[in-house]
Amino acid sequence: MNQAVDKLTVADYSSDQEVRWCPGCGDYAILKTIQKLMPELNQAKENHVFVSGIGCSSRFPYYMNTYGFHTIHGRAPSVATGVKLANPDLDVWVITGDGDALSIGGNHTMHALRRNVDLNILLFNNEIYGLTKGQYSPTSKVGTRSPSTPEGSVDRPLSPCAIALGAGAPFVARSIDTEMKHLSPVVKESYLHKGASFVEILQNCPIYNDGIFEQVKDKKIAPDFRIEVEHGQPLLFGKDNNKGIRLNRESLELEVVTLGDDASLEEILVHDKTSITQANLLAAMQGPDFPVAVGILYHRPASAYVSDLEQQRLSLRESRGEGKLQELLSSGHIWEVK
């Protein structure tokens, strides 16, 4: 089996279905990254299951030559939980979007993470409803003009990573659609993590929300608008790598400082991916005052739901023995009529 796994290539993971996203959609780049990553994961193809909800991103499973289930709006985490409960040996992926995972399916996302079901959740965040033609989404910035908010949206967006952390996800990361070199290792780490993992992928919608992430993607300006976090490394960024993140010990808030100008290297916060407090602060950072944090924000393994259940079942079977139905039916008070 392993030999066969070793020989697989991108082509083996591409289904025969024509990809039907709009030209220029960020989803193409994500698909390519995942298809390329698959052979590296050293897992039999038939053990991967991709489950999705509804939306542009949720077409993803059709293009993967693995097992896949394109379900209904918002419910992919629940269907995926059922898959994992039925067969814990499967590697279960959830492909979802900002509307799917955080609006109609917010409850299921929250509970899959809370329970720590061993799922790899990839959330394609384009801050817009694409498939229904451009309405604003729960992650759209205030002022987003859309067919349903012609004067601009007035309600505040939520941060997918902050939600995931709040729900208790043990693995939370953020990456970018077109940056395979960043995205691929982040997704690989999320796959290797046993338990729920959550990766927010900033994804460009060229039709309804084009350029929304340009600040963090445009090579010319991105260094000043994003910070690539790495465990054990100081939180430095900027074109000249001379800007840093410092914790204000009075307000317990983060602040951006310039090395040599108003701070020394020792004062710069060192990324600790096992710190939930730091992860929460990093997840909340947003422009223009702060750089957007990408990379693995939080990773603290915890025992996973389905394996804990299995453990319970095993110890129970040990004490009770295998269930015998006829004995069960005849348990308690019985009487004979002659």
Partner 1 sequence: MSAETQETVAKASHSPESQALEDVVVRFAGDSGDGMQLTGSNFTEVTALFGNDLATFPDFPAEIRAPAGSTFGVSAFQIYFGSEDITTSGDAVDVLVAMNPAALTTNLETVVPGGLVIADAGAFNEKNLKKANYDSNPLEDGSLDAYRLLTIDIHSQVLAAVEEFEIGHKAALRCKNMWTLGLVLWLFDREKATTIENLQRKFASKPDIANANIAALNAGHAYGETAELPTGVNVYKVPKAKVAPGIYRNVNGTQALAWGLIAGGQLANINLLFASYPITPASGLLHALAARKEFDVTTFQAEDEIAAVCAAIGASFAGSLGITSSAGPGIALKTEAISLAVSAELPLVVVNTQRGGPSTGLPTKTEQSDLLQAFYGRHGDTPLPVIASSSPSDCFEVAIEAVRIATKYMTPVMLLSDGYISNASEPWLIPDIKDFAAFPVEFRTEPEGFNPSLRDPQSLARVWAKPGTPGLEHRIGGIEKSYETGNISYDPDNHQLMTDTRQAKVAGISTDIPEQEVALGESKGKLAVVGWGSTFGPIHQAVKRCRLEGLDVSHIHVRYLSPFPANLHALLADFDKVLVPEMNTGQLVKILRSEFLIDAKGLNKVSGQPFKIREITNAIKAELA
Residues that bind partner 1 (CB under 8 A): 15, 17, 44-47, 49, 51, 61-62, 64-72, 75, 77-87, 89-90, 107-108, 110-111, 309, 312-313, 316-317, 320-323, 325-326, 328-330, 332-338
Tell me the C-alpha distance between 95 and 76, whole Å.
Answer: 8
**What residues does 256 pair with on adjacent strands?**
245
Buried b (16+ CB within 10 A) or exposed e, 186-205: bbebbbebebbbbbbbbbbb
Nearer to partner 1, 86 or 154 (CB): 86
Which pair of tokens denotes residue 309? 């259940």
* Closest distance to partner 1 from the beta carbon of 105 (Å): 9
Tell me the C-alpha distance between 79 and 330, whole Å.
Answer: 36
Nearer to partner 1, 18 or 261 (CB): 18
Q: What are phi and psi of 70, to 5 degrees?
A: -90, 105
Nearer to partner 1, 35 or 153 (CB): 35
* Closest distance to partner 1 from the beta carbon of 103 (Å): 14
Nearer to partner 1, 232 or 323 (CB): 323
Nearer to partner 1, 28 or 67 (CB): 67
Sheet bearing 253-258, strands edge to edge: 236-237, 243-248, 253-258
Tell me the C-alpha distance between 24 and 220, whole Å.
Answer: 20
Nearer to partner 1, 251 or 331 (CB): 331
* Closest distance to partner 1 from the beta carbon of 261 (Å): 49
CB 21 within 8 A of CB 57: no
Nearer to partner 1, 34 or 254 (CB): 34
Please write down the HEC assignment for all residues of 41-98: HCCCHHHEEEEECCCCHHHHHHHECCEEEECCCCCHHHHHHHHHHHCCCCEEEEEEEH
Tell me: cis bond preceding 88? Omega within 30 of 0 counts: no
Q: CA distances (Å), 94 to each of 34, 79, 120, 308, in order?
A: 13, 9, 6, 21
* Closest distance to partner 1 from the beta carbon of 82 (Å): 3
Tell me the C-alpha distance between 129 and 156, whole Å.
Answer: 16
